[in-house]
Amino acid sequence: MLPISAPDAVSLAIHRTREFLFRPFTWGTFLKLGLVAIVTEGLGTNFQSSNHGGHPSGHGPAINSPFDLAPEWIAAIVAAVALVIVMSMFVAYLITRLRFAYFHCLVYNTRLIRPGWRLYRTQAKRFFWLNVIVGLCFLLLVVLIAIPFAAGFWRLVHQIPPGGHPNIGFLVGLVLPLIPIIFLLVLVGVITGLILRDFMFPHFAIENATAGEAFHQAWTRIMAEKRQFLVYALLRVALPLVAMAAIFVVLFIPGLILAGSAAAFEYGLHSNYAGSTGASAIVGILLQVFFGVLAFGFALLASICLGGPLSTGVREFALIFYGGRYQALGDRLYPSPPMQAT
């Protein structure tokens, strides 16, 4: 497979997406693949972190500090936070496994999820822990950058006189430097995500490469074609945003009408059965739940029908662009026809 420019890879990605999802077309397969694509491309992220904190109000006698909590409450909070972290990591691992399975589907043009789910167990585990480490490093960077600003905001809050207002000049002096820093953090996050997902990931899947090997190979290719990779990164970020904006504009009014109709219908049911008792009240509740679930199912169906092809196209775009620079991937995307015996 020859190297393909980023703009040319867009049309090829659209073609491969159409062939993969719609030829032949069956509703069950389309919905399954569309849901997997949304989970792996839309909900799935490279590194996930959760921050949970509380802020005392300072206006009541009940709790003025976290240390005023009873020991059993502290233990319950710690256990709940630990459970949330464990469950989040477990879900992130499952999404990583599913991402490898969908990679297998797209690369080998198969619609079966299970073979890829089983085949890449080892690679998925190592890639998951790599993402965890990268995520923790990114979180540490954010904390280190935020410490001086947090101290400044703390001083600003304590300098406010009773019934007064904060020092506007001091507040502006704190906020203005944050704007470029936030922009740089977002930029670092996007670049890190692209390198991990689009360039290192195929080396994990195909070669069972280590993190160092995958990064070295990806970085070597990036340095060899800086301009092409820059164009790719811009298109990779911009095209999904443009597509989602176009979908929003086209479907805003129809979606608003449908959502308003569903809400009005639910409100009518609730009003009609508001004063009911006994069996009539139960029937009203069941009807409201039924039509609520029906509306949610319709919204989910619409999301899969729209987001599935878009998410698949994004991944095809990444595979085609990098496949032109990584021969092992390109040969799997576009295998050479078998030679005929003479």
Residue 339 has a pLDDT of 59
**Tell me: the pLDDT tens digits for 154-182?**
777 777 777 666 667 766 777 788 888 89
More confident residue, 259 or 327: 327
**Tell me: the pLDDT tens digits for 303-341?**
899 999 999 999 999 999 999 999 999 999 998 776 555
**Tell me: the pLDDT tens digits for 178-206?**
888 899 999 999 999 999 999 999 999 99
Give the alpha-carbon dihedral of 226, 99, 308, 261, to 10 degrees: -120
Position 47 pLDDT exceeds 70 = no
Q: How confident is the model at residue 57 (pLDDT cuts 50, 70, 90)?
A: very low
Residue 164 has a pLDDT of 64
Is 44:96 a contact under the CB 8 Å cutoff? yes
Position 227 pLDDT exceeds 50 = yes
Q: What is the mean pLDDT of the chain?
A: 85
Query: 3-state SS string over 173-224?
Result: HHHHHHHHHHHHHHHHHHHHHHHHHHHHHHHHHHHCCCHHHHHHHHHHHHHH
- For 198, how many CA atoms within 13 A lie in the half-sphere containing its CB? 25
Residue 36 has a pLDDT of 94
Q: What percent of the chain has pLDDT over 90?
A: 54
Is 1:331 a contact under the CB 8 Å cutoff? yes
Q: How confident is the model at residue 53 (pLDDT cuts 50, 70, 90)?
A: very low
**Tell me: the pLDDT tens digits for 134-148?**
999 999 999 998 888
Residue 187 has a pLDDT of 92
Residue 25 has a pLDDT of 92
Amino acid (1-letter code) at residue 9: A
Would you say the C-alpha torsion 85, 89, 94, 96 has a positive or negative sign?
positive
Give the alpha-carbon dihedral of 11, 1, 334, 8, to 10 degrees: 0
